[in-house]
A and B are shown apart, each in its own frame.
Chain A
Amino acid sequence: MIQTVTCLTFPLALQEAYRCLYCYDPPCMQACPVHINIPRFIKAITTGDFKSAYYLIRKSNPFPNTCALVCPVEKLCEGNCVLGTGAGKPVSIAKLQQFVVEKYKYPWEINVTAPKTYKVGIIGAGPAGLAASERLLEAGIRVSVFDAKVEGGMMKLTIPAFRLPVNVVEEEIKELKTLGVSINSGVYIGEDIEKLLDSFDALLITVGLSGSRKLGIEGEEAKGVFVAEEFLARIKKGERLQLGDTVVVVGGGNTAMDSACVSKELGVRRVTVIYRRTWNEMPAWERERIEAIKAGVEFIFLASPKKFILDRKGKLKEILCQEYTLGENDSSGRRRPEPLEGKEFCISATTCVLALGQVLEFKPYFGDLYVNIERGVIKVDEQFMTSIPGVFAAGDAVNGGRTVVEAIAEGQKAGDFIIKYLESKKGGASGE
């Protein structure tokens, strides 16, 4: 079964840390969206200065353990390690970070030198919103965070437990709360809170992409057909879903791989991923694909459901699939899948999970705020401000859905711009 990344032992961590060359202008650090000073924290491990190691990491990232587990490091820090040149093996930076934050955690404090009177409201308690709230607190600004669901966002809801145990996120959020972040969960903006802009000096929208894309085909509402985000969240919460013995997952991204792996974890005999394009076009990361293959997941490429066929009780029985071929490149640079006339097949399925991507679920959250939306995401300027002055946005809702660490980085930057904005507003208002 899929194993949660185990923490390095002390001797192994030391050995690994010694491999770091302590590069000048380190490419790993540049590649890290929150720019952790990687060579310095690794060198601190070799000299036994674990306090410095921990603070160097924590200073740049309020979710250091989460990121050590879920970052696509092969594309970020480790992918840019100079030791990985050619056939070389990069330093295992994520494992060293996990080692430090799990074994040498020190109390983290925020020392506010000059408290301000501003209040900032943050909508969405995911990584972007919480990272921003820490930045604002550091500047002495009061912050209220609201979330329609639970604190932690997707980190807590959909990332499977084998990849990211719930307690890891919970502990990191607990620390943020101790530092003064106040989180109000289960609060729907627009229903529970009116006239937000009157109550706060600035707002930050970090709602993520909580809506799930659907196929829009016959039978999609049947029993046994799930959207991946809901599917993963319910399983992570501990719900015992009746999946049957054949699960079909539709999609080629990480969420599709996660859904397939989780199904295998739960003992489903046959798990098949159906994807419209081929292995080469799949957006899922290398390691997630490999995990899926290792878990025994099967793949059908160049096909997509056309119709869900139900049994007499209205439960999913079979999926009628359309075959595809790859045509010209589309706007994303990938070859466009084109249906093959008359080529169809049926696959039996007791459960179908639709992992087709997430979309902005805008409406329920902020009744009186009408920010500009473009191509399905909130439009912001280079300072993360939306079309409404004083209303900022960051994270998946802005970037279209990327990584936890990028959401954190954007939250931090947005936080800094909010501070700048508030300071300049004050200057203007008082006529100084």
Chain B
Amino acid sequence: MSNIDLSVEFCGVRFLNPFILAAAPPTDNGEMIMRGFEAGWGGAVCKTMAVEKEPVELVYPMISGIHFNGKPLMGMENIDLISEHKVNEWIPWIREIKRNFPNNVLIASIMASSKEDWQELVRRLEEAGVDMIECSFSCPHGMPERGMGATIGQSYELTKRTAAWVKEAAKRVPVIIKLTPNVTDIAYIAEAVKESGADGVCAINTVKALLGIDINTFAPIPTVDGKGTFGGYSGPAIKPIALKCVAEIAQKVDIPISAVGGISNWQDAVEFLLAGAQNVQICTAVMQYGFRIIDDLKDGLTNYLKEKGFSSPKDIIGRALPNIVAHQQLSRQWKVVSKINQDSCIKCDLCFIACRDGGHQAIERNEERLPSVDEEKCAGCGLCQAICPVPATILLVPKIHS
């Protein structure tokens, strides 16, 4: 595992590796963060805190999950709020964390309802020794009703104004703004952050969702005394949404990005780096499996970089961006055709029925149920490959014109 340096720089701060614990329950006190650092996480964002007078009244249960094919976890929804621990509780923890882990990056996430509160939080936390400030303009539930969280992040003006307040107060440390995906154009809001003078963005916070409805009681899930509310959706299900948001910001706005949203393994992390993120934050996967997943993340990323001939994660940041283009720029000359590997095919015939009822009726079966593609009829749409249960059994190969 030698000769690969996993360290990255973000807004002028050096991280031992690009893996950061996101502002969430795994970082809700000093002891947890120190265990995360002990495990090997490059950085941690404290669960969002407020000034002492800000009420935080939690409800229970606050978390529900959606399984996929019987296994947890495709997605998770929470109706949690910010940390119950106020800034005065956090300050001694911050001092202790930094004393024990001076080389790990500690980021304080904050939320406030007035200019005075925003700026007071920044001053007190800077003084306590945090390395960076993250502002939550993005919590989709609980806080917006009070003019906080996503209410700010959904408005260009409020984002720009509030970010500027925070940046103005921060004398020593960089300021990043955590954005909500629950907007029409996230790059437009990232532009407001850039305009404000803040140093970077973090994208994305949870996706506003209704996880489910109990079909017996008609109660929303999670259910609090028979009632429920819209909450924040996270986990693998939202990864494609987050990836799109990060790539969109990276293409349109010249600002450093910390990526978050559904990242569960090193492959996800690589994709986000390729889409322009400088580092990645992780929450749901840690809530599911614990801090220990950092070993898998670091090993996987190291092996990948080595195998591809890179020496640092920095080498791959944004490398996919030139390939992400507008739909009208895609080649109309490019034709592919589906090829079925009949040796690895297990003859479930799902490709046959998918193509017949959802495609171009281009797959035939022989008397032994073995499917094959009629290349004349195959449009190369990709449906058969998308639904085939055996990896690498259906390939889309370029069609050669005679």
Contacts and interface: CB of A to CB of B under 8 A. Distances in A.
B70 A23 contact: no
Contact of A21 (B365, B369, B389): B389
A89 to B, nearest CB: 12
Contact of B348 (A18, A46, A82): A82
Contacts of A14: 70
B322 to A, nearest CB: 38
Interface in B344-370: 346-350, 352-353, 365, 369
Contacts of A46: 70
Interface residues of B, number: 13
Contact of A25 (B70, B71, B369, B389): B369
B69 interface: yes
B346 A24 contact: no
Contacts, number: 33
Given A82-B347, A85-B346, A24 B353 contact: yes
A24 B352 contact: yes
Contacts of A25: 349, 352, 365, 369
Contact of A82 (B71, B346, B353): B346
B70 A24 contact: no
B70 A21 contact: no
A23 B350 contact: yes
A310 B298 CA distance: 79
Contact of B69 (A18, A24, A82): A18
A22 B71 CA distance: 17
User: Which of B348, B350, B352 gathers the greatest number of chain A CB atoms within 10 Å?
Assistant: B348
A25 B71 CA distance: 26
A88 B69 CA distance: 19
Contacts of B69: 18
Given A21-B389, A27-B369, A15 B349 contact: no
A168 interface: no
Interface in B372-402: 389
A23 B350 CA distance: 6
A83 interface: yes
A22 B389 CA distance: 11
A23 B369 CA distance: 11
A27 B69 CA distance: 22
Interface in A84-99: 85, 88
B362 to A, nearest CB: 15
Interface in A9-44: 14-15, 17-18, 21-25, 27
A143 B352 CA distance: 44
Interface in B201-252: none
Interface string B153-196: 00000000000000000000000000000000000000000000
A25 B70 CA distance: 24
B70 A18 contact: yes
Interface string B79-109: 0000000000000000000000000000000
Contacts of A21: 348, 350, 389
Contact of B349 (A17, A18, A23, A88): A23
Interface string B60-72: 0000000001110
A24 B388 CA distance: 12
Nearest to A85: B346
Interface string B329-354: 00000000000000000111110110
A27 B352 CA distance: 14
A15 B70 CA distance: 6
A83 B347 contact: no
Contacts of B349: 23-25
Contacts of B389: 21
Nearest to B71: A18
Interface string A351-387: 0000000000000000000000000000000000000
Nearest to B368: A27
Contacts of B350: 21-24
Contacts of B347: 23, 27, 82, 85
A17 B346 CA distance: 18
Contacts of A88: 346
A21 B346 CA distance: 11
Contacts of B70: 14-15, 17-18, 46
A22 to B, nearest CB: 8
Interface in A79-132: 82-83, 85, 88
B213 to A, nearest CB: 15
Interface in B32-71: 69-71
A83 B346 contact: yes
Contacts of A17: 70
Contacts of A83: 346
Nearest to A88: B346
Contacts of A22: 350
Contacts of A24: 348-350, 352-353
A82 B388 CA distance: 13
User: Which of B347, B352, B353, B365 gathers the greatest number of chain A CB atoms within 10 Å?
Assistant: B347
Contacts of B71: 18
B359 to A, nearest CB: 13
Contacts of A23: 347-350
A168 B389 CA distance: 37
28 contacts: A15-B70, A17-B70, A18-B69, A18-B71, A21-B348, A21-B350, A21-B389, A22-B350, A23-B347, A23-B349, A23-B350, A24-B348, A24-B349, A24-B350, A24-B352, A24-B353, A25-B349, A25-B352, A25-B365, A25-B369, A27-B347, A27-B369, A82-B346, A82-B347, A82-B348, A85-B346, A85-B347, A88-B346
Interface of B: 69-71, 346-350, 352-353, 365, 369, 389
Given A21-B350, A23-B347, A25-B369, 16 more contacts: A15-B70, A18-B69, A18-B70, A21-B348, A22-B350, A23-B349, A23-B350, A24-B352, A25-B349, A25-B365, A27-B347, A27-B369, A46-B70, A82-B347, A83-B346, A85-B346
